[in-house]
Chains A and B, each alone.
Chain A
Amino acid sequence: MNRTAQIILSALLVFSIFSASVFQASAQAAIVTVTAQILDYEAGYVFFTSGDGFKVAPNVSVVDLKSGAPAGPPRPRQYGRVTFDATGIVTKIELTNAKLPADGDYGAIRKFVIALSTPAPNPDLAPQLNGSRCASVRPGKSVTLNITVQVPATTPLTDNVYMTTDQSGWNAQAYRLDRRDTLHYRVQLKLLSGTVMHVLFDRGSMQSVQLARNGIEQEPYPICIGDEDAQTFTQTVFNWADQQAGASIPIPQTMPTPYNPAPFPNLPPRPTPAP
Chain B
Amino acid sequence: MRLFLVRKSLAIACLVALLGGTLPPPAGAQPVSYVNANLIGANFENASLQNLNFQNANLQRADLQGADLRGANLRGANLRGANLESASLQGANFRGATLSSASLQQANSQGTIFQDADLRGANLQSALLYGADLRGANLHKADLFGANLQTANLQNAKLVDANLAGTDLTGANMQGVQRVAVLIPPPVKHPVAKKVIAQAPVTKNVIAKATSSPAPAPTPVASPAVLAVRSAPAPTPSTTPRPGTTLLRLNANRVQFFYDRFLVEADGNVRIRTSNGMTMSGDTFSMDLKLNRFLLAGHVHMADAAGAQDGAALADFLEFDRIYFVPLTRESQSATGIPDRWTFVNGDFANPAKGRDMPGDTFYFPDLGDAKPYLVTTSAVIAAKSFVRFPGGRFDVGAGAGLYVPVPSYYVNFSADQHLGDNSLAGANYDATWEFAGSANAISALHFRYDTVNKTYMSFEQHLSGKKAYAVFSVNPLTRPSKFWALLLSDRPSARTQIRTFTQLHTFQFGLRSPLESQQVTTVQATQALSGSFLQANYQFENFSLLPLGCYQNHCTVPNHPSSLMIAGQTFDHPITPFFHGDTRLWAHITYGFGFQHDSLGLQTLGGVNYTTIWQHQLGFQIYMPDFKIGPDLNVATKYYAINASFDKQRQWNSAPHYIDTAQAKISVSKILDAHFLTYLDYSVQNVGDYYGSLQSTIYPGFTPVVNGIAFPGYEAFHGAATFRTLSLGLNYSNRGNFTFNLLARQHKDFPAPIPFFFQFAQPDVLGNSTVQNYLGQPPYDITADVRMRINPHMSIDIQRAYYFNYSNLRWSPQFVFQVMQ
Contacts and interface: CB of A to CB of B under 8 A. Distances in A.
Contacts of B636: none
B553 interface: no
Contacts of A222: 126, 146
A105 B150 contact: no
B758 A228 contact: no
A152 B573 CA distance: 10
A232 interface: yes
B788 A125 contact: no
Given A125-B357, A245-B566, A264-B774, A130 B339 contact: no
Contacts of A157: 666, 682, 684, 726, 728
A180 B682 CA distance: 10
Given A39-B312, A128-B237, A263-B660, A188 B166 contact: no
A263 to B, nearest CB: 5
Q: Which of B148, B221, B540, B773 has the most CB of A within 10 A?
A: B148
Interface string A255-275: 110110111111110110000
Contacts of A227: 202, 205
A206 B130 contact: no
B452 interface: no
A214 B496 contact: yes
Contacts of B579: none
Contacts of B187: 146, 148, 232, 234
Interface stretch (A5-13, A22-30, A84-92, A137-145): A137-145
A190 to B, nearest CB: 5
Interface residues of B, number: 226
B668 A182 contact: yes
| Interface SS majority for chain A | loop
A189 interface: yes
A75 B357 contact: no
A50 B220 CA distance: 6
Nearest to A212: B529
A78 B337 CA distance: 23
B770 interface: yes
A168 interface: yes
A153 B646 contact: yes
Contact of B322 (A101, A117, A124, A246): A124
Contact of B536 (A190, A215, A256, A267): A215
B166 A137 contact: yes
Given A75-B298, A263-B690, A252 B426 contact: yes
A205 B569 CA distance: 24
B540 A171 contact: no
Interface in B328-349: 328-329, 331-332, 336-343
B496 A267 contact: no
B227 A183 contact: no
Interface in B728-778: 728, 730, 732, 734-738, 740, 742, 744, 758-760, 762, 767, 769-777
A168 B145 CA distance: 23
A226 B166 contact: yes
Contact of B363 (A50, A170, A198, A261): A50
A182 B645 contact: yes
B227 A35 contact: yes
Contact of A140 (B219, B225, B231, B688): B231
A133 interface: yes
Contacts of B290: 195-196
Interface in B612-659: 614, 618, 620, 622, 624, 626-627, 642, 644-646, 648, 654, 656, 658
B703 interface: yes
Given A134-B146, A227-B205, A231-B185, A216 B732 contact: no
A140 B234 CA distance: 12
A93 interface: no
B479 interface: no
Interface string B117-137: 000000000101010000000
A37 interface: yes
B223 A39 contact: no
Q: Which of B231, B233, B415, B667 has the most CB of A within 10 A?
A: B233
A247 B562 CA distance: 13
Given A150-B626, A224-B166, A182 B666 contact: yes
B670 A119 contact: no
Interface string B785-805: 000100000000010000000
A39 to B, nearest CB: 5
Interface in B570-617: 570, 572-573, 591-593, 595, 597, 599, 603-604, 614
B167 A247 contact: no
Contacts of A106: 221-224, 227
B357 A119 contact: yes
A158 B773 CA distance: 10
Given A181-B680, A231-B165, A245-B568, A158 B770 contact: yes
Contacts of A256: 521, 540, 542
A235 B749 CA distance: 34
Interface of A: 34-37, 39-45, 47-53, 75-77, 79, 99-107, 110, 114-122, 124-140, 144, 146, 148, 150, 152-154, 156-160, 164, 166-176, 178-184, 186-190, 192, 194-196, 198, 200, 204-207, 213-217, 220, 222, 224-234, 238-239, 244-256, 258-259, 261-268, 270-271
8 contacts: A45-B328, A49-B365, A76-B284, A121-B357, A133-B128, A187-B737, A256-B542, A263-B690
